[in-house]
Structure 1
Amino acid sequence: MDEKQAAFIKKRSVSLELAEKMLRKYIIPTVHEERRRGMKKATVGVVSLLCFSLAFFVFFFVLGTQAKMGMERPMVVKADGKALWDYLKKENYARNWNIWPGKNALYPGKEPHGALLTAYVNKVAYDAIKEKRGMFSDGSIIVKENYTADKKLAALTVMYKVKGYNLMVGDWFWAKYLPDGKIAAEGRVDACIQCHSMAKANDYIMIAPLK
């Protein structure tokens, strides 16, 4: 279990404890009081059911509020070339992910990438683009397919944001794959960093402005 997953479980436990405290402080005493007053068993049962339903509503409401306030997502996959490639295959990104908003398939590219490019993004990255946040969230993945002028796939270049991986360059993990999945480069790739540092104000992204 990584740190992000542990943090998620800890926050969920806090929410459960809050709901349990409310149950003990307000709901259970209410049921006992009604019983003491001599309510019929059926009526007490109805009140109990309503009270427990309220407790569960509070629990899930707190969880939802935490998520909206920016609860950290568990890491998608570890920062490793092979693990990332296996994840991309499992996701079937070319079928299940969105193409970068505003970009078509096989749009014109330039060196050091292909003459033609197609950029796919996972949901985390897609949401950041559509909402014009100006920066990607942890877990964002961008897959750029690099094609030759005659539309032959030559390579895939991937950017994956991992919290704490490389603070100096936006926590980006870079990887380059040949079409068969062989790793040509991965990690803190100097050539990638030098080029993308020119777009530091755009979260090191050169495809399009994020705002």
Structure 2
Amino acid sequence: MKKRIQYAMASVLCSLVASLAWAEMPEPGLDALWIYISRTSPYSSWGFWPDHQGMREGSVPHGPLHKVYVNEAGLTSAKPLVNGGTIVVKENHNEAEERQALTVMYKVKGYNPEAGDWFWAKYDTNGKVDRFGKPAGGISCHGGAAAGDYILIHSFD
């Protein structure tokens, strides 16, 4: 009986912690997401996937160089589908390694089931948005990696 109570209490505690973590996540909107990745939980303090670290060669539409930062929810995802709340921020750089824009993928349960529940946004370096939401170009490009949860630069193998 004592073990059942302990398990029940542990279950409630885990649910509470998960709820609090979700409460901190931004809505899938432009200003809230920008504030979150630039101030609340600055993306530059996040990690890299082990198979995609630091400055890497890039391609259109992201520029010739990029860095990809992933929050804890993404880094702890062992396989696709990644955890809800995963945010992937790609710094798009020119050949001189100057940051030109940020492209963001944010996994929001129920937001966009047809495309893996991803909210996409592209910001300039000051947080002004270029494209956002469910952009056809982003979805069609990443759609080829639907089995990998629309993630092109990381292999879960």
Give me the TM-score of the superposition, normalised by structure 2. Answer: 0.86
Distance 2:102 2:5 in 1: 46
Aligned structure 1 segments of 4 or more residues deviating by more than 6 angstroms: none
Choose the corresponding residue for 2:145, options 199, 205, 211: 199
Runs of at least 5 residues in structure 2 that lack an aligned partner in the other structure: none
Name whichever structure is richer in strand by fraction: 2
Name whichever structure is richer in helix by fraction: 1
1:83–1:198 distance in 2 versus 1, CA, 3 Å: same
Query: Taking every aligned residue pair, what percent have the same amino acid on both sides?
Result: 36
Distance 1:71 1:87 in 2: 17
Cα displacement (A) at 1:94: 0.3
The alignment status of 1:145 with 2:145, answered yes or no, reads no
Secondary structure at 2:145 match in 1? helix
The alignment status of 1:94 with 2:40, answered yes or no, reads no
Distance 1:208 1:72 in 2: 28
Q: Which residue of 2 aligns with 1:163?
A: 109
Q: Which residue of 2 aligns with 1:84?
A: 33
Distance 2:31 2:19 in 1: 28
Cα displacement (A) at 1:66: 5.6
Q: Which residue of 1 aligns with 2:75?
A: 126
Higher Cα radius of gyration:
1
Secondary structure at 1:184 match in 2? strand
* Count of aligned residue pairs for this structure pair: 154
Task: Summarize deviations over 1:7-42 as a string: whole Å, max 9, x none.
Answer: xxxxxxxxxxxxxxx8xxxxxxxxxxxxxxxxxxxx
The alignment status of 1:107 with 2:18, answered yes or no, reads no
Runs of at least 5 residues in structure 1 that lack an aligned partner in the other structure: 1-21, 23-50
Cα displacement (A) at 1:205: 0.8
Q: Which residue of 2 aligns with 1:183?
A: 129
Cα RMSD of the aligned pairs, angstroms, is: 2.6
AA aligned to 1:182 is K
